[in-house]
């Protein structure tokens, strides 16, 4: 087996191709697995980033339109009757849930009615917040673990390089350079996957807090007039 590794080392020593594809093809199974895992994580995180970017752009616009129309309406009940049936806007869905409860409790005292509507507003808001923040944990997980996965690939690649030195008994840079390059490639991919995920998680988390703060303010104003 040592002869096979030595032969492979000699072959690597003569290779001067350091393209990304060559680095991947020359890597051993463990490093290849790390590279593939990081590439898939990066693709998944970018898919989530684009999806959440579109989501926040859409709900911010639809909620602004909802509030403008609400405060111009003659009554909350007439406004509720004119709302689209299949709306995906969180503010619209929260308002519909509150109006349903409000109409159910028409004959009850004002204090009971207000308390029940307030509870429904809290439940509906929490439900919509969970929907909006769905998959946030994936971005956080990728952002926190990808550098360490890349580091694992780096350590493994450097260990292979030292093994190559020991087998070939040659400390020439040409012998260890391919293994080190593969190792650094894994580190770079780890950072490439982690940095956008962390930035996106922080941004979307901030956007979510800002959005639901606006929803909370609307809920308080709505409760004060019912």
Assigned token pair, 167? 């087998």
Distance CA 118, CA 120 (A): 5
**Terminal Cα distance for the chain, rounded:** 81
pLDDT in the model for residue 90: 93
pLDDT in the model for residue 12: 43
- Residue-wise DSSP of 30-64: HHHHHHHHHHHHHHHHHHHHHHHHHHHHHHHHHHH
Query: Whole-structure pTM over 0.75, yes or no?
Result: yes
Domain extent, residue 96, equals 2-225
Number of folded domains that form the chain: 1
The CA-based diameter of the chain, rounded to the nearest angstrom, is: 91
Residues of the chain with pLDDT under 70: 1-27, 164-166, 168-179
Sequence-separated (6 or more) residues with CB below 8 Å from residue 37? 149
Distance CA 219, CA 117 (A): 10
Distance CA 150, CA 138 (A): 17
pLDDT in the model for residue 24: 64
Q: How many CB atoms lie within 10 A of CB 214?
A: 15
Residue of 187, 222, 213, 215 lying closest to 62 (CA atoms) = 215
């Amino acid at each position: 087996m040592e002869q096979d590794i030595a032969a492979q080392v000699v072959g690597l020593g003569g290779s001067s191709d350091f393209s990304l594809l060559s680095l991947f093809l020359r890597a051993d199974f463990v490093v290849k697995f790390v590279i593939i895992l990081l590439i898939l994580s990066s693709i998944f995180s970018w898919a989530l980033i684009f999806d959440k970017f579109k989501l926040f752009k859409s709900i911010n616009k639809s909620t602004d339109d909802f509030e403008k129309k609400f405060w111009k309406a003659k009554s909350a009940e007439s406004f509720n009757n004119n709302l689209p049936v299949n709306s995906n806007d969180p503010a619209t869905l929260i308002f519909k849930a509150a109006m349903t409860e409000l109409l159910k409790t028409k004959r009850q005292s004002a204090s009971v009615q207000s308390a029940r509507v307030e509870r429904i507003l809290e439940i509906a808001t929490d439900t919509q917040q969970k929907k909006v923040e769905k998959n946030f944990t994936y971005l956080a997980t990728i952002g926190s673990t990808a550098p360490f996965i890349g580091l694992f690939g780096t350590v493994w690649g450097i260990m292979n390089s030292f093994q190559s030195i020991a087998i070939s008994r040659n400390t020439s840079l040409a012998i260890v350079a391919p293994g080190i390059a593969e190792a650094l490639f894994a580190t770079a991919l780890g950072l490439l996957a982690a940095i956008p995920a962390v930035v996106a998680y922080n941004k979307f988390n901030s956007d979510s807090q800002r959005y639901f703060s606006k929803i909370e303010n609307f809920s308080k104003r709505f409760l004060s007039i019912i």
